[in-house]
Structure 1
Amino acid sequence: MADQAAKRLKTDTLSIATHNGHFHADEALAVHMLRRHVPEYATASLTRTRDPAKLAESHTVVDVGGEYDAAKNRYDHHQRGFTTTFPGRPTKLSSAGLVYMHFGRGIVERAVKEKATASETVAESDIDLLYNKLYAGFIEALDAHDNGIDAYDPDQLAAANGGAGIEKRFADGSFTLGAVVGRYNAQWNDADQDQASEDIRFENASARIGEEFDRELHYLVSGWLPARSIVKAAFDARAEYDDEGRLLVFRDQSCPWKDHLYTLEGEAGEGSGKVMYVLYPDKEERWRVQCVPAAKDSFVSRKPLPEAWRGHRDDALDKILEDSVVPGAVFIHASGFIGGHRTFEGALQMAKKSLEL
């Protein structure tokens, strides 16, 4: 066994193996993360096989082989008794989750340090925050998809609708991460079903989901994390605009605020009250009043703008608001989740008036 391991390290140090045949999003992303984001694998070759002898010769094996042993670079999850989850999360890992669990923090750390200037200190807490955020917001969906885990608890779904479950109102277009990769597999009646064609499809699929992973990583490092301090400052200044802290104002520019707002509210406790509206300038130097959703991915607002205002624009809206808001109204969306005014004063008056109604 030791001789076999020595041979593997000596002859195939830069070899990654995964299974051939129908491929899935988890191994496609696992391969991408290793080759694109882990320096040791930058020039690694890829072998797609189920041959035990070829797997034994490979330096790293993902999603095949029936073995999880990080010390031996084995990252499969199909074996009986496998129950490993990401720290603090309930979902059983797939090969993507396994590779991310072991290499993801280094991936995040390198991305953060690459963006930081020479004078900036990279906080370990920021790296940990992003490491966990990227798993929960991206990788976990692939783990659940590959392991056949529903996003909703089936017992809760049944109870919510008299035991019949909850049906979708419309199809989602199958644009889940898993479906995006699945489309790269050959159709049942495609002529080119040979191994070489299949390998090319896999490489394209790996690059495609890898692009989405890279975009998410870039967003979290370059956009989401820097926004945290801006949202915190606005959250701390809420009393300047409303005694109950129901208005969050970005005086200079907007930024990704939802995740950070929900976190800050949770940390502040129930006694601090909830933010109802967020005010910020748009690119044309007008002002927006946006309702805070009841939950992160919900289209239901905590307090929609008044029904009587909705669907009106410009002069017609000014006439409706004339007793309470200075002229310059731009619009109120038909669903009441957002509105606009040409001035900050007007937007603030709109928000305050809406709070009263």
Structure 2
Amino acid sequence: MSPLTIGTHNGHFHADEALAVYMLRLLPTYHSSTLIRTRDPDLLQTCHTVVDVGGEYEPSTNRYDHHQRTFNTTFPNRTTKLSSAGLVYLHFGKAIIAQHLGLLEDSEQVQVIWEKVYESFIEALDAHDNGISVYDPKAIAAAVVEKKFSDGGFTLGAMVSRLNPNWNDPTPSDPVEAQKVEDEKFLFASTRIGEEFSRDLDYYTRSWLPARDIVHKAYAQRLEHDSKGRILVFEGQSVPWKDHLYTLEEKDGGKAKVLYVIYPEKPTPDAKWRVQAVPISKDSFESRKPLPEAWRGFRDEKLDQVTGVDGGVFVHAAGFIGGNKTFEGAKATALKALDL
């Protein structure tokens, strides 16, 4: 049998169709697929699957364009309009994740990862391609908020855009050869952004997901350390906890908030212990309750003197984290901080 053909547009390429092609080729059906980059309707008609071109969204015929005036499809429980990356992920993402985990598509773990990877990775591409800002531009203007420096366009979309040919790059005079050169650049971009997707998927399946059960157990036991449940303890070793903690708190109605997380620096009996203040949000540098200002910047014996707790190691100058030689000392430090 001849390999299936994926069609997408030629010319300037973008992150969404670059990733869409990569994701499709992760699956056995498309693993050996060929690629046609064109805007010729007759050529696109010959393709088994078409992404980001053709003016049609019809899963039954494998058409996944999002440029139609009437298109308004979003991912479940999200508001960002999908791009071709989001459409391919919507329809094929569970199969990709199930294959990665060796599970059935309808398993709970696949559902959890499917939602998480969309929120953490795919949605940003959908928004970028559809011209949707992270913040409301009118609200930003009204608040007179200005960037303090240029971030250099370090986004997934910008990364792919920089892989396009420059306007003054030499171009073969033969149209066929010129298209071949452009296609090679596209395939490089597809592989590049695909590597980022695969790293993200690998992290969430191999690290983030196993951590969920550990965080759930610690959350269920938090009243053992503080009557109001404001301290979370990881006894064996720390795990990626922020996403899981915020989700658990949200399910509890958001009334009780964990303020400090205690964990060993490494999974050994002689490990020192950390006390970390919980950020107000996952990516924030602001803590819900920083360690007391009077403790900040002190170390060792001087820290013991100001805290009244033996075994102190340090408290960061910003107050977001501190350390003690023992679990008992770390817990005593957190308990004292709650009342200051």
Bin of the TM-score, shorter chain as denominator length: over 0.9
Mapped pair 1:185 → 2:164: yes
Q: What residue in structure 2 maps to residue 171 of structure 1?
A: 150
Given that residues 317 and 329 in structure 1 are in contact (C-alpha distance below 8 angstroms), is that contact kept between their aligned partners in structure 2? yes
Q: What is the match of residue 308 of structure 1?
A: 294
State the shift of 1:21 in Å: 0.9
Task: Pick the aligned partner of 1:17 from 4, 7, 31.
Answer: 7
Q: Report the counterpart of residue 331 of structure 1 in structure 2.
A: 314
Shift of 1:341: 1.4
Task: Give 1:340 deviation, angstroms.
Answer: 1.2
Report Cα offsets for 1:265-305 as digits up to 9, x if no partner. 1122244x210000001127111111101112211100011
Contact 2:299–2:314 (Cα < 8 Å) also in 1: yes
Q: Say if 1:286 and 1:342, in contact at 8 Å, map to a contact too.
A: yes
Taking only aligned residues, the RMSD between alpha carbons, in angstroms, comes to: 1.8
Q: CA deviation at 1:313?
A: 2.4
Within the candidate set 55, 76, 87, 1:98 is matched to: 87
Q: 1:58 to 1:246 in 2, by over 3 A?
A: same
Contact 1:23 1:202 in 2 (8 A): yes
Contact 1:62–1:75 at 8 Å: present in 2 too? yes
C-alpha distance in structure 2 between counterparts of 1:329 and 1:197, whole Å? 61
1:25 partner amino acid? A
Q: Aligned ranges for residues 156-305 of structure 1 at < 5 Å?
A: 156-159=139-142, 161=143, 164=144, 166-192=145-171, 194-271=178-255, 273-283=256-266, 285-305=271-291
* SS of equivalent residue, structure 1 residue 130: helix
Of the structure 1 ranges 284-293 and 307-316, higher mean CA displacement relative to structure 2 is found in 307-316
**In the alignment, which of 61, 81, 88 is matched to residue 50 of structure 2?**
61
2:102 aligned partner: 113
Deviations 1:131-161 (A, max 9, x none): 11111111111000000001112343345x1
Q: Name the SS for the 2:204 alignment partner.
A: helix
State yes or no: 1:27 paired with 2:17. yes
Aligned position for 2:175: none
CA 1:315–1:196: 2 relative to 1, 3 Å: farther
Give the corresponding residue for 1:344. Answer: 327
Moved more, 219-228 or 304-313: 304-313
CA distance in 2, matches of 1:237, 1:192: 65
Name the amino acid aligned to 1:53: D
Question: How many Å apart are 1:95 and its aligned residue?
Answer: 0.4
Cross-structure match for 1:3:
none
Look up the equivalent residue of 2:226 and give its one-letter code.
Answer: D
Report the AA paired with residue 178 of structure 1.
G
Q: CA deviation at 1:223?
A: 1.1
Counterpart CA distance in 1 for 2:285 and 2:245 is: 17
| Counterpart Cα distance in 2 of 1:100 and 1:270 | 31
Aligned partner of residue 297 in structure 1, secondary structure: coil
- CA positional deviation for 1:130: 1.4
Alpha-carbon distance in 2 for matches of 1:214, 1:221: 10
Aligned position for 1:41: 30
Q: Following the alignment from structure 2 to structure 1, what is the Cα–Cα distance between the partners of residues 316 and 89? A: 41
Q: Which residue of 145, 148, 168 maps to 2:128? A: 145
Would the aligned equivalents of 1:29 and 1:96 in 2 still touch at CA under 8 Å?
yes
Query: 1:346 is aligned with what amino acid?
Result: G
Distance 1:270 1:92 in 2: 28
Task: Give the TM-score normalised by structure 2.
Answer: 0.92
Contact 1:288 1:338 in 2 (8 A): yes
Q: Moved runs in structure 1, 4+ residues, more than 4 A?
A: none
Q: Is the 8 A contact 1:112 1:122 kept in 2?
A: no
3-state DSSP of counterpart to 2:102: helix
CA gap of 1:341–1:265, structure 2 versus 1, over 3 A, is same
Q: Distance in 1 between matches of 2:22 and 2:204?
A: 18
Using the alignment, how far apart are the partners of 1:347 and 1:110 within structure 2? Answer: 42
Question: Which secondary structure does the structure 2 equivalent of 1:149 belong to?
Answer: coil
TM-score of the superposition, structure 1-length normalised?
A: 0.88
Q: 1:93, 1:143 within 8 Å by CA — same for their partners in 2? A: yes
Separation in 1, partners of 2:209, 2:222: 21
Alpha-carbon distance between aligned partners in 1 of 2:334 and 2:71, rounded to the nearest angstrom: 53
Q: How many residues align?
A: 332
Do the aligned partners of 1:97 and 1:143 also contact (CA within 8 Å) in 2? yes
